[in-house]
């Protein structure tokens, strides 16, 4: 049975180029800090999938399966994927994903 994932994406309207650069390189510590502050990331979509790789595939190829909340762009490095059941978060890295721990 698929799991529901929340996709959080960077708010480019309030983030400077230096912060965007760090987040787009998969800076885990910076991502955790900014998630805690609650300003830089916005909820953009829900995706039902059988794991993170499938979330990435759906978010980049099968856009008709994405339940958009607002603006949604293809999933990219620096985006955060949250398992809505466990609240575990993962940042998209240049290769794979890094665990962030619990994300409220």
Q: What is the full per-residue pLDDT of the chain (104 aa) written as tens digits?
A: 899 999 999 887 877 677 776 666 767 888 888 888 887 889 999 999 999 999 999 999 999 999 999 889 899 988 999 999 999 999 999 899 999 999 86
Q: How far apart are CA 59 and CA 36, in angstroms?
A: 24
The tokens describing 10, both together, are: 């960077």
pLDDT in tens, 68-80: 998 898 999 889 9
Q: Is 35 exposed, middle or buried (0-12, 13-18, 19+ CB in 10 A)?
A: buried
Q: How far apart are CA 47 and CA 67, in angstroms?
A: 6
């Amino acid at each position: 049975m698929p799991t529901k994932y929340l996709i959080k994406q960077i708010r480019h309207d309030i983030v400077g180029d230096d912060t965007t650069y760090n987040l787009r390189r998969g800076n885990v510590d910076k991502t955790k800090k900014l998630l805690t502050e609650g300003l830089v990331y916005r909820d953009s979509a829900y995706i039902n999938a059988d794991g993170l790789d499938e979330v990435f595939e759906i978010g980049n190829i099968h856009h008709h399966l994405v339940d958009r909340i607002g603006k949604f762009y293809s999933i990219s490095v620096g985006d955060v994927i949250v398992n809505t059941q466990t609240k575990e978060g993962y940042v998209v890295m240049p290769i794979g994903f890094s665990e962030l721990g619990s994300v409220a």
